[in-house]
Structures are given as structure tokens and as C-alpha cells.
Amino acid sequence: MSEAPAAPRSASAERTAAASLLLTPPQPRSGWRLLPARIVAMCAVELQKLRHDRTELYTRAIQPALWLLIFGQTFTRIRAIPTGGIPYIDYLAPGIIAQSAMFIAIFYGIQIIWERDAGILNKLLVTPTPRSALITGKAFAAGVKSLIQAVVVIVIAAILGVSLTWNPLKLLGVGLAVVLASAFFSCLSMSIAGIVLSRDRLMGIGQAITMPLFFGSNALYPVAIMPGWLQVVSKINPLSYQVDALRGLLLGTPAHLGLDFGVLAVAAALGVAAASSLLGRLAR
């Protein structure tokens, strides 16, 4: 690639001189208003990127569609899993929404390593953005991505005849659960990124933990039929609480919404704290 010859810039210098805006620094936002502003900034970038390149949106829809279409349809016929009287594909749908959102978030750390390598992260760290605000912004940006994914899976599920709620308040709750869980999983990923510092290693660890997180949750089958040790895994796995909330909200099955949202919120907050404290390792 060659650069077009750049002419002397006296003309643009005059323009800059006339432009008063570039001579006055913006008024700093302070206190509580800073965090929401950074979250909005990071989410805006994520949405802009998705608008320019929708490939990821389409390719990411394939796997959940296959899970519902093949696994869901087959197991609905087998009737091997006790679902409390609802068709298995209905039971499965919230689990697949949670799973596909988690898959996006768990590899989010790769992006932050890429940004580190490209110098973007360093540049952001030299802006008036505390590390915790940057991580929270990124966590919500991952949440936005997961939310779009969740909408896609809900549409697929609806097309496959799963009877989901259309109550707007409940859907809002679904959105909140997806965002909180993605915030946790993306922070987990960014924390690992802060420890291993390389894309390849993060990729390997991501691959290694996604399946245990998925199978060690109530996404595919109820906790009650798991062996004892797996029930323990499921108890400490935030994915289980997300699935429980999604199932309760989307299908109206009995759920522990207070506990679910509580666990998800605490997990997200802990994740932000962990990832923020490890971010410095990526910056040096």
C-alpha cells in the first residue's frame, strides 16, 4: 500500500485556527455520570462494528439453530428427559439462548488481546477512563452482542414452535439476565486474558471451559437427574442461574428469580473487579 502524496498543510492549519472547538477542552463529566457514559461509548462501538460486518451475526446463529433443530427435535421424540410436562424443545430453548450468549462472551477476551496488540487498549487507558469503567463498558458491550444473539435464538425458537411469552416486562427481564450473565462470562474471559496474555492460550482455555460450563448446568437437563458431584458444579455455575431465570420468564416454569438475579449481579460485579485488577498486566 502506498500513501497518496500529502501536500503541505497550510490550508488546513488555517482551518484549525478558525475552528474554536478544537482549542477548548470538553468539560469533564464527573462522579456517577462517568460510568454510564463509558458504557454507552463501548456499546456504541460494538453496535457500529456489527453494523459494518454482520458475518458474525449470521454464522453465530447456525449452532443454536442446529441444537434446537436436531438435538431438540430428537429428544422431544425420545422423551428421555423429565421436563415437568412441557415439550423438550421448549425446555431446551432457554438453555440454548443462555449457551449461545455465553459462547460469545467467553471469547470476548480475545478481542481485548487484539486491542492490546493493536495499541487500541493503551490509547483507551490514556483517556480519563478508570480501569473498572473500561472493563464495565466492555462487559456491557459483550452483553449487547449477546442480547442480539439472544433475539436471534428466540426468533428461531419461535419459528420452531416453542411457545414463549411475549409479555414485554418478562422479555425485559430476559434481556437483563442475558446482559448480566454475559458481563460475568466476558469478565471471566478478560481476566483469563490478563493472566495468559496471548490469544492462542486464551482460545485453548476458552474451548476447555465452555463445554464443562454448559454440561455442568441445567441448560440441557434438570439438576435433579445429575450425579451428586455435577449438582455441586451446577450450583456454583452462574449459567444455571441464568437458565433458571430464562426458563421461568419465557416458559412460566417455577423459578427462583430473586436468587437468580442476585447471583448473576454479584457474579458480574466480582467479574468486573477481577478483570479490572488484571487489566494492568495487559497494559505493560
Q: Give yes or no for a contact between 150 and 174, defined as CB atoms under 8 angstroms apart.
A: yes
Convert residues 202-221 into a mask of x (bound to another protein by CB under 8 A) and - (unbound): --------------------
Among 35, 36, 45, 163, binds another protein (CB under 8 A): 45
Residue 56 CB, nearest distance to another protein (Å)?
11
Q: Does 16 bind another protein (CB under 8 A)?
A: yes
What is the CB-side half-sphere exposure of residue 263 using CA atoms within 13 A? 17
Q: Does 200 bind another protein (CB under 8 A)?
A: no
Per CB under 8 A, the segment of 24-32, 144-152, 187-195, 264-272 that binds another protein is 24-32
Per CB under 8 A, the segment of 22-30, 178-186, 196-204, 226-234 that binds another protein is 22-30
Grid cell, residue 6, equals 500529502
Q: Does 21 bind another protein (CB under 8 A)?
A: yes
Grid cell, residue 262, equals 442476585
Decide: helix, strand or coil at residue 114.
helix
Cβ closest to another protein, residue 254 vs residue 284: 284
Residue type, 233: V
Nearest CA to 264 among 140, 189, 179, 197? Answer: 179
Q: CA–CA separation, 29 vs 154, rounded Å?
A: 38
Nearest CA to 107 among 177, 207, 195, 176? Answer: 207
User: Footprint of another protein on this chain (CB under 8 A)?
Assistant: 1-6, 8-10, 12-17, 19, 21-29, 34, 37-38, 40-41, 44-45, 48-49, 52-53, 115, 117-120, 122-130, 280, 283-284
